[in-house]
Amino acid sequence: MKLSRKRKMIGFGLALPFLCGFVLFYLAPFIVSIYYTFTFGNGRNIFVGFQNYISVLSSGAFQLAAYNTARFILVGVPLLILLSFLLSTLINARLKRNAAFKSVFLYPMIVPVAAVVMIFQIVFAESGLLNSLIPGVCIDWLHSEYAFGVLVLLYIWKNCGYNIILITAGLLSIPQDYYLTAELEGAGRRQKFMRITLPLMMPNLFFVLVISIVNAFRIFREAYLLAGETPHSSIYMLQHFMNNNFSNLNYQRLSVGAVLIFMVVFLMLALLFVVLRRRGDYEL
């Protein structure tokens, strides 16, 4: 009993620096932000109830940013997971011994974001490489409706390697005896995939889905470097809205935007956890 209590105290002592940093740099600012959402003015704040939430939700800029962010998640995340899963399956089935091929997918993780964006600017600029390769075409890819597709491509290219690592690790953890037994029973590739691979990969795919959604909400960094403070309306994200309000020192609207994003992400992830727990594929 004393030993168990001593271990708990040691564990708490080791975790204390992290807990202090978390409270100081994350929890406390978040609580202050919630307070700001119910006030008006800088310095001597006046309590205004939910007026700031109503103002932000009825704002055209916020509605555009929310629509673009939701569209980006609905388009980019499924494409990223599908491509990552296909490439992981290919690596696991055909290229197990080709370490050089596997390492190619890790390069986007170690290349600085600014360098990646610079390459995309060189390729997709109005006077860039892509237009020079297509005769008679002069499209401003970064300042037109095509900017959304370019940003999705950048998001997939940047995050695909990490997802491949996670999915490949899950595929390698599946015992081969399952597949051998299924072959003896006369199961084909489709049946083995649906009955063995997909069910056993659900926890890994769930984690990949969570990471992909979080990274999709963080796409502002790439969008900002790609198109600046005033991007095309198709890639105006929630973080653009928050950054603009920060520049204008409108901390109330900024705080409302941060709280709303937190609520959406929290509810989205909570829903995913509930769905997987009911399926029995994941345990909290």
What single string gives the DSSP state of each residue in 50-89? THHHHHHHT-HHHHHHHHHHHHHHHHHHHHHHHHHHHHHH
Q: What pLDDT, on a 0 to 100 scale, did the predictor assign at position 44?
A: 65
Pairing of strands 46-47, 39-40: antiparallel
Band of residue 284 on the pLDDT scale cut at 50, 70, 90:
very low
Prediction pTM value: 0.84
Q: What pLDDT, on a 0 to 100 scale, did the predictor assign at position 2?
A: 59
- Distance of alpha carbon 87 from alpha carbon 105, whole angstroms: 10
Q: Buried b / exposed e across 31-52, counting CB within 10 Å, b at 16+?
A: eebeebbbbeeeeeeeebeeeb
Collapse the DSSP code of 144 into the 3-class scheme (helix H, G, I; strand E, B; otherwise coil) and give the result: coil
**pLDDT at 5 > cutoff 70:** yes
Instruction: Give 118's Cβ-side CA count (13 Å radius).
Output: 5
Q: Which of 84, 203, 221, 227 is nearest to 148 (CA)?
A: 227
Structure tokens at 173: 């953890």
The residues pairing with 39 across neighbouring beta strands, listed in sequence order, are 47
**Backbone dihedral angles phi then psi of residue 160, each to the nearest 5 degrees:** -65, -40
Collapse the DSSP code of 118 into the 3-class scheme (helix H, G, I; strand E, B; otherwise coil) and give the result: helix
- pLDDT per residue as tens digits for the range 190-235: 888 888 888 888 888 888 998 999 899 888 888 988 888 788 899 9
Residues near 134 by beta carbon (within 8 Å), at least 6 away in sequence: none
Q: Which of 223, 261, 252 is nearest to 240 (CA)?
A: 223
